[in-house]
Structure formats: structure tokens, C-alpha cells
């Protein structure tokens, strides 16, 4: 079910500003790929091009190809809405819908996309909450508002919401940066379980986290302020952290950078 992503020659713009330039890489299915790099180097922008969320920003546009198995996401006639159903996303800050209960939050993706029977929804919600390791904490208060949970629980709720629509790929944009170490650990464990079923791409500023959870790591960098971000290298995580082939990667990882 999980799919391979093949990016070639991808350039993304905000209006006239070129945010990332000429990125090509392969993301393997059923594995975790981590993106690391300094702020402003275009990691998040690149992540957002993988499910066509980049163009939601006013002035955002993309050149190049993103192949999901054998389909180009940017081919003419491709509906961004169906792309986003296939490639799910979890954001930096937990963002449960404030008007909805925990149950409705998890069911939101399905409910808003069509009609489901209540019994069917209950099954999916339970499965998704269990998949996000949240079921035991919330099973007695599914009708309480989602905004009443703690930050870490909210983020796992958002992950449950994202996996409820059964995507092929899960994109995570710094999913732990607003969380305490214990919640971070819970989510990292979760990522380890989820990679059995999904292709996972995670952006992180925490290099230990990248080393802990990912199978492959990509290092992004930019030449200077206002310059577009570029992919420096992508390789097995172990190799990136022990013996990278580019000097800039080693400098960044060892903290000798800038």
C-alpha cells in the first residue's frame, strides 16, 4: 500500500522568490526519511510540495516532477484534493478542529469527504486512535472537545486524524517541536510503528531525533540569505551521521556550522 516517491528537478517559488531549486531524490516505501538542515533552507517547503499544499500559499507554484509510483502529482488533470487524500500531513503545531469532539476530529477527513455509516465510522475511529497510541487515554471521553487534550495528546490526535483516511504516505512537519520530551518519545515510538504501513517523511530540527527514527536522512542547505535552498545529500542515516560524503553535512551535524 505504501508508495515510493520519486522527485526530479523540483523548483518551488513564492511569487518571484525561488525557495528551493532543482531537488531530485527518492523516498523509499515503508521507511522513514528525515529532512534536516538550518532554518529557511526549504525543508518544509519541499515537504509541502509532496502533497501539493505548497500552492495553498498565495503565490506558491512549482516546477518539476513528483512521481508517486508511476503517477506525476503535477501532471495536468491531477486534482490536488485527491493527491492530499493519498499523501497525508501532520503539522508542527497540533491543530485539532476546535468545534469538533475527539471522535469528530478523527472522523473529520472521512465525514467531510462523503457519507459513512455510524458503525463504520466507529470502527475506523477506534482503529486510528489505537494506531496513534491514543485510544486508552481518550476512549472514555470521545465526545469531549479535542482542544481539551494536552499538547502531546493533541498531536497524536492529529496523527490519528491523518491516518484515518488511509493515506499511502504520511508527511510530518516538525511534529515534536512543540512537545515535551515524554510526548516526543511517544510520537517517535509511534513513527516506528507507522512505518510498517506508511511511507513516512519527517522534517526535524532535532538531529538526535533524525538519528533515532529515520532510515534515510536528507541534508538541505542554502548558500546565503535570499538564496534558494538545495539538497546537499541524501543517504542511509547511519552513513550521514558517521561518515557523510559532503563536508557541509559533517559541519552541520557536528555543530561547527555558521
Partner 1 sequence: MSNAVIDKSAVAGDAPRPGLKQPRLPKWTPIGLALISVGLGCGIGVAGDLSSKTQWGLIAALLFVLISFTLTTKVEGSRQAKDKLATSLIWVCFLLAVIPLVSLIWETVDRGRTVLDGYFLGHSMEGVQTILPGGGVYHAIIGTLEQVGIATAIAAPIGLLTAVYLVEYGRGKLAKAVTFFVDVMTGVPSIVAGLFILTFWIIILDFDYSGFAGAMALAILMMPIVVRSTEEMLKLVPNELREASLALGVPKWRTILKVVLPTAIGGIITGVMLAVARIAGESAPIMLLVFGATGINNNPFDGAQSSLPYYVYEQWQLGNDASYNRAWAAALVLIAFVMILNLLARGIARWKAPKSGR
Among 4, 22, 9, CA closest to 67 = 4
Binding-site string for partner 1 from residue 157 to residue 176, where x marks contact by CB under 8 A and - marks none: -x--xx--x-----------
Among positions 4, 18, 30, 85, the unique one binding partner 1 when judged by CB under 8 A: 85
CA distances from 122 to 104, 149, 176 (A): 10, 20, 28
Query: Does the footprint of partner 1 cover residue 183 (CB under 8 A)?
Result: no
Q: Which stretch binds partner 1 (CB under 8 A): 22-30, 62-70, 139-147, 203-211?
A: 139-147
| CB of 148 vs partner 1, minimal distance in Å | 5
The H or E element spanning position 181 is helix 181-194
What is the C-alpha to C-alpha distance for residues 38 and 185, in angstroms, rounded to an integer? 23
Among positions 1, 17, 56, 239, the unique one binding partner 1 when judged by CB under 8 A: 56
Locate 86 and state its grid cell: 493519498
| CB of 25 vs partner 1, minimal distance in Å | 21
Query: Does the footprint of partner 1 cover residue 95 (CB under 8 A)?
Result: yes
| CB of 247 vs partner 1, minimal distance in Å | 31
Residue with cell 495528546: 153
For residues 13-32, which are near partner 1 according to CB under 8 A? none
Query: Does the footprint of partner 1 cover residue 127 (CB under 8 A)?
Result: no
| CB of 161 vs partner 1, minimal distance in Å | 7
Fill in the DSSP letter of residue 228. Answer: P
Q: Which stretch binds partner 1 (CB under 8 A): 31-39, 144-152, 191-199, 223-231?
A: 144-152
Strands annotated E in 70-175:
71-72, 87-90, 169-173
Among positions 113, 208, 227, 242, the unique one binding partner 1 when judged by CB under 8 A: 113
Residue 152: partners with Cβ closer than 8 Å, 6 or more residues away = 179, 180, 182, 183, 184, 186, 187
Cβ-in-10-Å burial (0-12, 13-18, 19+) of 16 comes to exposed
What is the C-alpha to C-alpha distance for residues 32 and 73, in angstroms, rounded to an integer? 21
Between 104 and 188, name the residue whose CB sits nearer to partner 1. 104
Rule CB under 8 A: which residues touch partner 1?
51, 53, 56, 58, 81-86, 88-89, 91, 93, 95, 97-99, 108-109, 112-113, 144-145, 147-148, 158, 161-162, 165
Amino acid at each position: 500500500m505504501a508508495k515510493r516517491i520519486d522527485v526530479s528537478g523540483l523548483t518551488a517559488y513564492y511569487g518571484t522568490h525561488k525557495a528551493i531549486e532543482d531537488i531530485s531524490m527518492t523516498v523509499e516505501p515503508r521507511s522513514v526519511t528525515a529532512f534536516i538542515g538550518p532554518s529557511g533552507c526549504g525543508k518544509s517547503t519541499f515537504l509541502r510540495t509532496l502533497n501539493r499544499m505548497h500552492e495553498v500559499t498565495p503565490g506558491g507554484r512549482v516546477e518539476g516532477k513528483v512521481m508517486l509510483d508511476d503517477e506525476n502529482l503535477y501532471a495536468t488533470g491531477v486534482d490536488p484534493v485527491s493527491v492530499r487524500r493519498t499523501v497525508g500531513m501532520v503539522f508542527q503545531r497540533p491543530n485539532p478542529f476546535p468545534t469538533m469532539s475527539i471522535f469528530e476530529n478523527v472522523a473529520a477527513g472521512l465525514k467531510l469527504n462523503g457519507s459513512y455509516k455510524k458503525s463504520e465510522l466507529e470502527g475506523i475511529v477506534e482503529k486510528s486512535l489505537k494506531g496513534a497510541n491514543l485510544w486508552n487515554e481518550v476512549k472514555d471521553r470521545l465526545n469531549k472537545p479535542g482542544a481539551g487534550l494536552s499538547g502531546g495528546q493533541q498531536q497524536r490526535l492529529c496523527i490519528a486524524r491523518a491516518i484515518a483516511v488511509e493515506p499511502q504516505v504520511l508527511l510530518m512537519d516538525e511534529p515534536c517541536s512543540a512537545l515535551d520530551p515524554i510526548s516526543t518519545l511517544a510520537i517517535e515510538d509511534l513513527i516506528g510503528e507507522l512505518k510498517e504501513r506508511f511511507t513516512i517523511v519527517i522534517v526535524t530540527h532535532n538531529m538526535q531525533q533524525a538519528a533515532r527514527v529515520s532510515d534515510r536522512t536528507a541534508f538541505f542547505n542554502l548558500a546565503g540569505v535570499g538564496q534558494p535552498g538545495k539538497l546537499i545529500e541524501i543517504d542511509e542515516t547511519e552513513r550521514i551521521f558517521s561518515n557523510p560524503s559532503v563536508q557541509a553535512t559533517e559541519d552541520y551535524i557536528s555543530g561547527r556550522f555558521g
